[in-house]
Amino acid sequence: MSTATFTVVGMTCGHCVSSVTEEVTEVAGVTDVDVDLASGRLTVTSDIDIDETAVVAAVQEAGYQVAT
């Protein structure tokens, strides 16, 4: 099992959290997604090595950016 943390920029409401959660959940191998609106913290858990590029792409698909 593998876990990675990202900072999502631009979320302002619960709908934003839902959008990010929905997109990231679709990334192959992802088993759990936790998004904290206040901090922008996105924690992803996967049963395989996390494809960080795919997670970033999923966040972008939801309409947000990952801080670098």
Angle (CA) 40 10 58, round 5°: 80
Report the pLDDT value the prediction gives residue 15, as an integer from 0 to 100: 97
Given this model, what pLDDT does residue 24 score? Answer: 98
Position 68 pLDDT exceeds 90: no
Q: What is the CATH number of the domain that holds 37?
A: 3.30.70.100
pLDDT tens readout for residues 11-47: 999 999 999 999 999 999 999 999 999 999 999 999 9
Q: State which residues form the domain around 52.
A: 2-66
Provide the pLDDT for residue 61: 98
* Number of domain units in the chain: 1
Residue 23's contacts (CB-CB under 8 Å, 6 or more residues apart) are: 58, 59, 61, 62
Place of tokens 């959290």: 17
